[in-house]
Amino acid sequence: MEAMASRSRPTQAKRAREKALIEKRQMKYARRAESKDTKSTRTSADGEDPDLAGIVPGPQPHPFLTDDELNDEPVEDDATEATEE
């Protein structure tokens, strides 16, 4: 019976992989901490959320049509409601 070929221990490669993983974890932790800090300090001075600044409640303007184009289109919903009543 022949002895199986023994492989050399991959200690250097394993250490390099483990070191890379540890470094990656540290970078990820630092990035998350930085993101958390910026989110907490991002509110404006007047207390308004910057993501919601300038949003007006109610119907919003059509994103693709101008006011003139909206007025030129026939309103089918009102016409069908009037005939059904």
- From residue 47, how far is each of 35, 41, 43, 55, 56 by CA, in Å? 20, 11, 6, 15, 17
CA-based nearest residue to 50, from 59, 41, 62: 41
Per-residue tens of pLDDT for the chain, all 85 residues? 566 667 777 799 999 999 999 999 999 999 999 998 887 776 555 677 777 777 888 887 777 877 777 777 655 655 555 555 5
pTM of the model: 0.40
**Predicted pLDDT at 53:** 77
Residues 64 and 70: their CA atoms lie apart, in Å, by 10
| SS3 category, 78 | helix
